Amino acid sequence: MVTETKTDRRILRTKEAINKAFLELFTEKELEQITINDISERANVNRGTIYLHYTDKYDLLDKCIEDHLSNMFVACSVSIDFNRDKIDLIDELTSVFDYFEANFLFFSAMISTQRTSVFRERMLQIVVANLNEKLDQRDIHRSMNKELIVQFTASAFVGTTEWWIRNHMPHSPQYMAEQLWKLFEKHDVYAR
């Protein structure tokens, strides 16, 4: 059963404005320098309203990360299809990198700060969960340890992505997807 509660339009608008403002500020100054005042002004929202949704700026940062990562997750698992083949998977990978590219500012900001580790860990978690689900859907454990496959693939993916972002995305999403796919294929993880 899927929970089917539409959230009030005002809430969505407000959260979006706050997120946007926070992200902008995040690319301009260090987290410690950002005040709730800054955020409320930039977002054109009453200061009190921010406390209605977030306990403090750290909570805001966490939820911001959570938000983007789950968006990414949604953006990439659009085309879930059980009889897919290699091409499909490359497409999916490409759409993930497209998402990164479209939100370069956010990811870049997340990675170039002391708080990187929080972000990286959370991202790893998400990817691991995602992979587990996929591997369950297709039944290709073979002789290999599933846990190990997941950890291997996830770390490789997150690490490579981080490198890609840190270096200002020197390749196109398409290219990244293809290259990564080849590497995964080599390790006989997803290959049929």
Could you tell me the smallest distance in angstroms from the CB atom of residue 48 to DNA?
4
The partner in contact with residue 137, picked from DNA, a second copy, none with C-beta cut-offs of 5 to 8 angstroms by kind, is: none
Residue 189 and residue 185: Cα distance in Å, rounded?
6
21 contacts a second copy (rule: CB under 8 A): no
Q: Considering beta carbons, is residue 45 or 65 the nearer one to a second copy?
A: 45
Sign of CA dihedral 38, 42, 44, 50: negative
Q: Considering beta carbons, is residue 2 or 87 the nearer one to DNA?
A: 2
Please compute, for residue 62, the number of CA atoms within 13 A of its CA located in the half-sphere on the CB side.
7
8 Å CB contact between 9 and 32: no
Q: Considering beta carbons, is residue 54 or 119 the nearer one to DNA?
A: 54
47 contacts a second copy (rule: CB under 8 A): no
29 contacts DNA (rule: CB under 7 A): no
11 contacts DNA (rule: CB under 7 A): yes
1, 3, 4, 6: which one contacts DNA (CB under 7 A)?
A: 6
CB within 8 A of 103, min separation 6: which ones? 68
8 Å CB contact between 8 and 22: no
20 contacts DNA (rule: CB under 7 A): no
Residue bearing tokens 């709730």: 36
Residue 167 and residue 71: Cα distance in Å, rounded?
23
Binding site for a second copy (CB under 8 A): 9, 12-13, 44-46
Enumerate binding residues for DNA (CB under 7 A). 6, 8-11, 13-14, 35-37, 44-49, 51-53, 55-57
